[in-house]
Amino acid sequence: MRLAVLKERRPAETRVAATPETVKKFIGLGCSVAVEAGAGLASGIPDADYAAAGAEVAADPAAALQGANIVLKIRAPLAAGEGEVDELALIPRGALLLGQLQADEKAAAAYAQAGIDAGAMELLPRITRAQSMDILSSQANLAGYRAVIEAAGAFDRGFPMLMTAAGTISAANVFVMGAGVAGLQAIATARRLGGRVSATDVRPAAKEEIKSLGATYVGYESEESKQAQTAGGYAKQLSAEFYAEQAKVVAAHIAKQDIVVTTALVQGRKAPQLVTEAMVQSMKPGSVIVDIAADAGGNVALTKPGEMVVTENGVKILGWHNWPGRISGASSSLFARNLLTLLTTFWDKEAKAPKLPAEDEIVRGVMLTRGGAVVHPSFQAAKA
Which residues carry out catalysis?
126, 131, 134, 137, 234
The reply to whether 267 sits near ligand NAD by the rule CB under 6 A is yes
Q: Decide: is 239 part of the binding site for ligand NAD (CB under 6 A).
A: no
Instruction: Report the length, in residues, of the chain.
Output: 384
| Neighbouring residues of 354: CB distance < 8 A, sequence distance ≥ 6 | 1, 70, 96, 343, 346, 347, 348
State which residue, 1 or 143, has the beta carbon closest to ligand NAD.
143
Which position among 75, 203, 316, 370 is part of the footprint of ligand NAD (CB under 6 A)?
203
CA distance 298 to 274: 9
- Decide: is 199 part of the binding site for ligand NAD (CB under 6 A): no
- Piece in contact with ligand NAD (CB under 6 A), picked from 35-43, 101-109, 195-203, 364-372: 195-203
d(CA 220, CA 16): 40
Asked whether position 200 contacts ligand NAD by CB under 6 A, the answer is yes
Which of the residues 269 through 288 are near ligand NAD (CB under 6 A)? Answer: 272, 274
Continuous segment of H or E residues that includes residue 62: helix 61-65
Query: Residue 151 CB, nearest distance to ligand NAD (Å)?
Result: 17
Q: Is 87 helix (H, G, I), strand (E, B) or coil?
A: helix
Binds ligand NAD by CB under 6 A, chosen from 35, 65, 202, 340: 202
Q: Does 131 bind ligand NAD (CB under 6 A)?
A: yes
Contact 259, 198 (CB under 8 A): no
* One residue of 20, 77, 119, 180 binding ligand NAD per CB under 6 A: 180
For residues 77 and 89, give the distance between their C-alpha atoms in angstroms, rounded to a whole number.
9
Nearer to ligand NAD, 119 or 180 (CB): 180
E runs forming strands in the chain: 2-5, 32-36, 56-58, 70-75, 96-100, 117-120, 162-164, 167-169, 173-177, 196-200, 216-217, 259-262, 288-291, 308-310, 316-318, 347-348, 353-354, 369-370, 373-374
Span interacting with ligand NAD, options 91-99, 102-110, 130-138, 313-321, rule CB under 6 A: 130-138
Q: Which is nearer to ligand NAD, 136 or 215 (CB)?
A: 136
Determine the interface stretch with ligand NAD among 42-50, 88-96, 106-114, 133-141 (rule: CB under 6 A): 133-141
Rule CB under 6 A: which residues touch ligand NAD? 126-128, 130-131, 134, 136-137, 140, 177-183, 200-203, 205-206, 233-235, 263-267, 272, 274
